[in-house]
Amino acid sequence: MSLYTLKTQTLEGEEVGLDRFSGKVALLVNVASRCGNTPQYSELESLYKKYEAKGFVVLGFPSNDFGKQEPGTAAEIREFCSTKYHVTFPMFEKVQTKPGATQSPIYAALKEATGQLPGWNFGKYLIGRDGKVVRFFDPGLEPSSPQLVSAIEKALDKPAPATN
């Protein structure tokens, strides 16, 4: 299944289809403002800027699942990300990543595709141009790590799927 068939809401509450990212390579990340991994926002933004013109996007999904480290409202999250880390990549509504009745359909699909859910904030899923998960990366892995950068570059080298 392609993640690009799902819908969600932006941080500002607008419904949006992930199909707007079809044909792009995405790094989907569960983010939090009060986590030891929060400085990864800087590296995520750098990756986004570096590869955006080649068809790469970072998709941020705030979550309060781990250590209650994202307690803020949507407006507070936007303010924090904009002023402290100058985030320009797309940010979406706060979601539940953990299994349960209110788990985000996106994270349910990620679990189905990979057998993995994040164990902490800043779990990273690399999504291919076709909307399928390429690989899951552990929350502690820095976005600038050679392992992650190499996987992004390899995914970007693959052509976009043909559309009918």
The Cα–Cα gap between 35 and 122 comes to 9
Q: Residue 13 — left, alpha, or beta (φ > 0 → left; ψ -120 to 50 → alpha)?
A: left
Q: Shortest CA distance to 110 belongs to which of 47, 42, 63?
A: 63
Q: Shortest CA distance to 23 belongs to which of 57, 59, 58, 60?
A: 57
Tell me the CA distances in angstroms from 34 to 3, 6, 49, 86, 152, one per residue in order.
28, 28, 24, 16, 27
Pick the catalytic residue: 11, 18, 26, 35?
35
57 contact partners, CB below 8 Å, separation of at least 6: 21, 24, 25, 26, 27, 48, 89, 90
Q: Shortest CA distance to 19 belongs to which of 33, 2, 34, 42?
A: 2
> Is 81 annotated in the active site?
no
Active site residues: 35
